[in-house]
Amino acid sequence: MGLLFAKLMTVFGDREHKVIIVGLDNAGKTTILYQFLTKEAVQTTPTIGSNVEEISVKKTRFLVWDIGGQDSLRATWNSYYCNTEIIIMVVDSTDRERLTLNKEELHRMLAHEDLQNASVLVLANKQDMKNSMTAAEISQSLTLSSLNARSWHVQACCALTGEGYPLYSPSKMNPLCGRCNRVVYPTEKVNCLDKFWHKGCFSCEVCKMTLNMKNYKGFEKRPYCNAHYPKTSFTSVADTPENLRLKQQSKMQSQVLYKEEFEKSKGKGFSVVADTPEMQRIKKTQDQISNIKYHEEFERSRMGGEAPPHHPQTPQQHTTPVQSLVNMFQKRFRAVYDYTAADEDEVSFLDGDVIMDVQQIDEGWMYGRVERTGQQGMLPANYVEAI
């Protein structure tokens, strides 16, 4: 509902408005009245009958009646109802035993025909006491939510200090605690996490250990100790079409993958060829010829240069693909420089070494076997010459 007085000051204008302050005895009604007037706490005695004062707020004037709350005087409250526009009911927030009586008196008063259009302001007084109830608890106990057709508001306050008064200067008001929602006075105030706290209320949300400015950790503007600080985790990302497209694009642009593919293909001139049955047959034949040639050279060197007996074959009219592969592997080269292998797939050799089983890969690289060491691998074409 907001602060009723703040609204009424802009609605009612310059004319005088009648206000009654009611409540049970010892609730603090007279102290609140003179706190409005003098902005300080005054010594009071139990009201016998009533007190009346005029309060001016800007251009609006309020004629305020403070009515005694003793049991014998509550029966006379109805004599003050005529022309009343605002009802201020003061409730002792520490008096839990008489909350039901407060509720009965309030609803009996609101049922009177002279108060059908009156607005209600409930002041939950004595908030400076540790055992006091909050404004929400008092609102629930008085069932204020049932007043659907009437303007009402409940406000926590302290009559001795003026804290929480609708007409009190905001610059003089102390803030409410971020945990217990009660007034925080300067001597016990902790300002942290965009809130004000009592020193005793500034504690861990889990274990309730009292914290200070040196050992607290904040999470979502709530204090935690180091042991119970919430552990954050990564959020999952949905595989939406847009996210999948961005993921694929990032993968294509990855320099790491480009470097990996480059290192794999470095020095190799082979093009990607489909693994058809025909290509598998040619590859198998090539491997067999390579092993035959290797053993032929090995036998020749073991027997002192004598080649194994040659079995003549029936001459053929044309050269087969297999014979072409044999002629290619019989080509020999001699190294004209020393070379040290730079990669695992390369082979080292010295000046004068014979390179056998040579296969031309591209203009810059060849594949062959060093006769002296028996090692096979890649070698630069400009380091050798044909024999």
Query: To the nearest whole percent, how much of the chain has pLDDT over 90?
Result: 27
Binding residues for Mg(2+): 30, 47
- Please report which residue ranges of the chain form alpha helices under DSSP H: 4-11, 29-38, 99-110, 135-141, 241-252, 255-265, 277-302, 321-329
Mean pLDDT, the chain, integer? 79
Q: Binding site residues for GTP, as ranges?
A: 23-30, 69, 125-128
Q: How would residue 82 be classed by pLDDT, with cut points 50, 70 and 90? A: very high
Q: Are 369 and 356 in contact (CB under 8 A)?
A: yes
Residues of the chain above pLDDT 70, percent: 74
pLDDT in tens, 113-159: 999 888 899 999 999 888 899 989 999 999 988 887 788 889 999 88
CA 381 to chain centre: 61
Catalytic residue among 43, 70, 280, 360: 70
- The binding site consists of 23-30, 47, 69, 125-128
All domains of the chain in start order, with CATH: 4-173 (3.40.50.300), 177-232 (2.10.110.10), 321-387 (2.30.30.40)
- Buried b vs exposed e over 327-341: b needs ≥16 C-beta within 10 Å? eebebebebeeebee
Using the predicted structure, report yes or no on whether residue 50 has a pLDDT greater than 80.
Answer: yes
Q: Is 70 a catalytic residue?
A: yes
With a cut of 80, say whether residue 60 has pLDDT above it: no
